[in-house]
Amino acid sequence: MINRYLDHAILIPQMTRQEAIEWILSGIKHKVKTVCVRPCDISLAVEMCRGTETEVSCVLGFPHGTACTETKIAEAKLYCKKGVAEIDMVANYGWIRSGLWTEVHDDILGVTEVAHRSWRKQPPSTVQVKVILETSQLTFDEIIKATEICIDARADFVKTSTGFNGEGAAEEAVKKMLETAAGHIKVKPSGGIRDYARAQMFVDMGVDRLGVNGSSTPNICSGTGNSHEKSGY
């Protein structure tokens, strides 16, 4: 079922609390894998999703990835304590473009070391980490090397995009990530996946998760249509 691949994003900055509630309810209704929320909505989403088939993921260092590593670690600790199941962190892609691979590695490892402690009372006991590379800003060589760094830093997923900067999930970038991953890390395309056909295409390529704007979830799950929502994902 395509819905179990979906991280249903609720990340539009200007969203009201009521709009966030309505989008969370939509994710729960469609039994998506997670609702991916703004940090300010974590407690709300955890409470709403309790007892459902949908868990809560949140973004960290979003959308630019330029926060200090110490700040990202502190964020991760807070979000884990609040009850998230997964964290989608933005890598410092300025560092990636600079070839500062030790710094990129340590930035990711700081978050995975926090998230992989036993925070949760139900399985999985640890919080999974997805690393957003913002592939539209990188060369293929940089994407390949960054994916290797994510594996070495023990991330659970490598992810294409925030949906807020440039092109989203490009097929060739996803192919490079899958080839480099070689089963050692999961791959999540995100950005521009607005209908069932495109979502299923990526699933057929071998990805494990899809990042989609919450406005696109009904169309994807029903196998119809194309959403024209452009505000993230």
| pLDDT surpassing 70 at residue 230 | no
| DSSP single-letter state for residue 210 | E
Q: What is the DSSP letter of 3?
A: G
Helices (H), 13-125: 17-29, 42-49, 69-82, 93-98, 101-115
Q: Residue 228: pLDDT above 80?
A: no
In the chain, the domains with their CATH numbers are 2-222 (3.20.20.70)
pTM value surpassing 0.75 = yes
Task: Cite the active site residues.
Answer: 88, 159, 188
Phi-psi region of 191 (alpha: psi -120 to 50; beta: other; left: phi over 0): left
181 vs 165: CA distance, rounded Å = 24
| Contact residues for 181 (Cβ-Cβ < 8 A; gap 6+) | 147, 151, 158, 187
pLDDT tens readout for residues 142-182: 999 999 999 999 999 999 999 999 889 999 999 999 999 99
φ/ψ (deg, to 5) at 137 = -100, 0
Q: What is the pLDDT of residue 100?
A: 98
Mean pLDDT of the chain: 95
3-class secondary-structure state, position 89: strand
Distance CA 112, CA 126 (A): 10
